[in-house]
Amino acid sequence: MPDEYRTVARAGVHETEVNRSRFLCTLAPAATEQEAQDVIARVRKEHADATHNCWAYVIGADAAVQKASDDGEPGGTAGLPMLQMLLRRDLRHTVAVVTRYYGGVKLGAGGLIRAYGGAVGETLDALGTRTRRRFRLGAVTVGHDRAGRLHNDLLATGRTVREVRYGEQVAIEVALPDAEVPAFRAWLADTTAGTAVLELGGETYGDV
């Protein structure tokens, strides 16, 4: 599992025009393949009158799932150049849909490849990207008498606090880079005089 990956900063749409054809590129982050397909379905419904709704997506921090569709354009002239642009920019967990409204001028294979790939590239430039890093989840259990101060200390030292749960004791869920776990254990023991317990859990990705 890669330590980090890059995805589009936010969902958005950017329009370009090539020889009177309108190209509307929708980009969105997608945690799963189903999320990517949901975005595609939404855009196709919204632009049901378009000439084509071509798409591509890369799912997985390791780019394990890569799919694309020309949606009626000549084979390899739309979905593939869109996918290649996502990969060239090192994008993961990202879906792109390029909606074309034909303007009456044929672009040829080379023109289509440049138009579809370029639409994705321009939209990425407009929306920007963000990096997400792999973190280890940990549950810190501490008594109520120390919980408030510990919570403040965690935030003051830049740690990522994901959730706080109150019961007989207080459970604070944190996210830590793997390399920082030993130092965090030592810091926690010092800060709480050894009264807090850290239990490590699974892994997740979070914004850097």
Q: What distance in Å separates the CA atoms of residue 66 and residue 84, rounded to the nearest whole number? A: 10
Say whether both 11 and 49 belong to one domain.
yes
Say whether both 104 and 161 belong to one domain.
no
Q: What is the pLDDT of residues 56-70, one digit of tens each?
A: 999 999 999 999 999
Q: What is the mean predicted confidence (pLDDT) over 161-187?
A: 91
Domain total of the chain: 2
- Residue 190 has a pLDDT of 92
Q: What is the pLDDT of residues 6-46, one digit of tens each?
A: 999 999 999 999 999 999 999 999 999 999 999 999 999 99
Say whether both 71 and 163 belong to one domain.
no
- Residue 133 has a pLDDT of 87
Say whether both 121 and 173 belong to one domain.
no
Token code pair at residue 162: 């994901």
CATH number at residue 54: 3.30.230.30
Say whether both 116 and 164 belong to one domain.
no
Structural domain range at position 159 = 132-207
pTM, full prediction: 0.77
Which domain-ending residue is among 98, 127, 156?
127
Q: What is the mean predicted confidence (pLDDT) over 101-119?
A: 95
- What would you measure as the largest C-alpha separation in the chain, in angstroms? 75
12-18 β-sheet, strand order: 12-18, 21-29, 94-101, 52-59, 65-69
Say whether both 122 and 193 belong to one domain.
no
Q: pLDDT tier at 196 (50, 70, 90 boundaries)?
A: very high
Q: What distance in Å separates the CA atoms of residue 47 and residue 166, rounded to the nearest whole number? A: 48
CATH number at residue 191: 3.30.70.240
